[in-house]
Structure 1
């Protein structure tokens, strides 16, 4: 379809739509981290354990990761706006259910399942719409900068906001807050238009969706089982690998027969995009893993309450906010490869400082320098990593790549929480805290290596 035939959002309404998209990313990221400071309150109120709350947090992130690819595919068939609004409604129902949850089971249903499904439906349209509405690199960097800034703030400030609400009212009020934000997003979305028309005749690979979801669930569940039974862990991991192998075999068969699979293997033939996906996965693994590790340690070992824990995370929030909002300016001066590498160097350095200073001092503000560096690093690289991946494919493939991109990112969040939680639950001590951060730092170095392999493109402001 030619550009003249495609309905574009008018300039004056595009800002409102961007606000809705950014708030949507904010609330989904907030949901993934705000429960970290409610661990004690929820476990006492619902008569469960720290591990039980960790399972609820991880399952929420896992459901998002498992369903994000199908969610991205559905946008082609039913339209970006319809999937976005449907996801908002499902999410709001889950949030309100959590607010009245009598036990852990209902909390998992509302938070982990319904909010997870809602997020998988609404997040792919966020990145598809941002890519289509902002066609040039600089304006797209600005849009992604706003979206990723709000997303990063939601994840980094989730502990502070959640702590304030929990201390002032109740942990249940935090879920009411989420429902209220959803209502604001729905109002802001009234003028939203779909840049591309939906295609109701588009096929949907249900079997592939089931296989991909089951494979991812088995792998993350295997990580969670590490502290209970090594053989169970190995069995679940092996099962996950086999199911995902079956999924990719099915994809090849579907493509060979001329049918449209859930996920085309051609998406993995672009080296730049593959490296960008690795950096995205590691970034969110670092963000959520660090957040869970520090929050759990401060509450369970140091005995800090929700608001004290949240205040300490202000350093990460400020760092992430400052660097994310500078995304447009940075994109004009430095190449995306340079920005991603710089982000990883800062983040890994922040983790090293967390280990060194926090173990040597009982002052809670000893965590601030490390968290500030991690926030700065993540803010610097979140936007260019998304831009690298989304810009590698044409408009007609944005549904596929957006679902894959968000699935990889949320899988990183799941891995971060699962790995850190598994190490901590095995022994909530200073030693376990250090080990968890060392593992996260090692993974950060893997991300740095992947970023270093990205193409060496010239800085945007360089002379030809």
Structure 2
């Protein structure tokens, strides 16, 4: 069995800290704006739907460019892509902080921060996979990264609410800039274990087709409350473009050339199911974050800090389970952890629905959000580990980009689907319909988790090295 590298706890923390903080700030950016809806719309003279579009476009740009971003790590090197992505992200955050209108905010936050994230996130997961071998060591590393990512998503509303109330919504982007600068300083000591290959081919046509297909799909969902025929047309166009992307990839493979994404990546049943669970996790988390945030601010008139305070329950729950990832991986199989996580999450959504309909007390949100946080934190790490560990080192660039793209597509779909339902009728009924749709997505994720193979806990696992392809 492959064992973890012999490194001191201090050295391990030095490696993990910038990687975990990078995931934290990207997740924070995706959720913190959910408590600034009223402040941004009033200051920039826009609507709730305008802010929803800005949030969704940010998540969509990440999803659309994550696969090309992962592929570029082979040509440019993982550390170089990480640093370049942080720089682009930082410029976007500064531009967003000074935005005079919604258009500039979308350029800074949605476009530049989205592009920067697509460049920097694949290296985070590739470097973690390469630097930490062995199930327990990798589970510990991914547990730390996913914990910070989950905290960023769950605590984003709380931190964002505090900054918005104390200083103003623009301070949130100032905070992001400061964190990015800190990561750049910490990343100076990172070492890339694999040399870049500038001669590695890059499939430009495939990159355009994959990005265009994803954009059309999510745009179609956003158009649902305006024109049903437009929605249907965009969804069909998106599906057609993605079909063209896979046809192009197969054509390159038959010609002996390297496509943007190897179709063989989808031949691994366990990894496919793992990516479905990743998509569903982030769809539910970001969908709940937007729905609850919009409902509290627009329908109930809560302030940014009060709205953020409500999300503390989710943060506590997520912290509790995600930080226990290593211990849980030793005692329970990854399949069990993921399935249990989805079960808790769906129950949490049902509790949110029932209690919020029964009473207007703010405490009605706490039990449901706590359960959702516990469930999401329980399954974040095993879902990532089960996908990344299913492929050898030479495919980590591609699978990391694909895996992160699937997760971020889930985030954008969650905001688009739940947001479109919620924004169309900003009432208690709209809230119930959006949460019901998210519960259904959680059930789909649970179904995928139940079809995962019955692996054994890490403590008794005697399988091949983690870098070898897993067998079903």
SS in structure 2 of the partner of residue 461 of structure 1: helix
Contact map agreement 2:209 2:242 (CA 8 A) in 1: yes
User: Within 2, Cα distance between the matches of 1:276 and 1:16?
Assistant: 29
1:14 Cα offset (Å): 3.3
1:9 Cα offset (Å): 8.3
Q: Which of residues 383, 386, 408 is equivalent to 1:385?
A: 383
Match for residue 339 of structure 1? 337
Alpha-carbon distance change, 398 to 435 in structure 1, aligned in 2, over 3 angstroms: same
Contact map agreement 2:221 2:231 (CA 8 A) in 1: yes
Correspondence 1:393-432 to 2 at 5 A: 393-432=391-430
How many residues in Structure 1 have an aligned counterpart in Structure 2?
A: 459
1:388-428 deviation digits (Å, cap 9, x = unpaired) = 00000001100000000000000000000000111011101
Contact map agreement 1:9 1:133 (CA 8 A) in 2: no
User: Within 2, Cα distance between the matches of 1:31 and 1:8?
Assistant: 35
Match for residue 248 of structure 2? 250
Match for residue 265 of structure 2? 267
Correspondence 1:56-455 to 2 at 5 A: 56-455=54-453
Contact map agreement 2:345 2:442 (CA 8 A) in 1: yes
1:177-206 deviation digits (Å, cap 9, x = unpaired) = 000000110111110000111111000000
User: Within 1, Cα distance between the matches of 2:456 and 2:252?
Assistant: 39
1:365 Cα offset (Å): 1.1
User: Within 2, Cα distance between the matches of 1:345 and 1:93?
Assistant: 40
User: Within 1, Cα distance between the matches of 2:410 and 2:189?
Assistant: 33
Unaligned residue ranges in structure 1 (runs of 5+):
none
User: Within 2, Cα distance between the matches of 1:193 and 1:436?
Assistant: 44
User: Within 2, Cα distance between the matches of 1:177 and 1:11?
Assistant: 28
User: Within 2, Cα distance between the matches of 1:23 and 1:348?
Assistant: 29
TM-score by length of 2: 0.96
1:457 Cα offset (Å): 1.4
Alpha-carbon distance change, 286 to 71 in structure 1, aligned in 2, over 3 angstroms: same
User: Within 2, Cα distance between the matches of 1:112 and 1:71?
Assistant: 16
SS in structure 2 of the partner of residue 258 of structure 1: coil
TM-score by length of 1: 0.97
Contact map agreement 2:70 2:123 (CA 8 A) in 1: yes
Match for residue 47 of structure 2? 49
Unaligned residue ranges in structure 2 (runs of 5+):
463-472
Q: Which moved more, 1:453-462 or 1:348-357?
A: 453-462
Contact map agreement 1:9 1:192 (CA 8 A) in 2: no
Contact map agreement 1:95 1:175 (CA 8 A) in 2: yes
Alpha-carbon distance change, 18 to 386 in structure 1, aligned in 2, over 3 angstroms: same
User: Within 1, Cα distance between the matches of 2:280 and 2:341?
Assistant: 11
Q: Quote the RMSD (CA, aligned, Å).
A: 1.4
Runs of 4+ in 1 over 4 A off after TM superposition: 7-12
User: Within 1, Cα distance between the matches of 2:244 and 2:347?
Assistant: 40
Contact map agreement 2:135 2:458 (CA 8 A) in 1: no
Contact map agreement 1:8 1:195 (CA 8 A) in 2: no
SS in structure 2 of the partner of residue 362 of structure 1: coil
SS in structure 2 of the partner of residue 255 of structure 1: helix
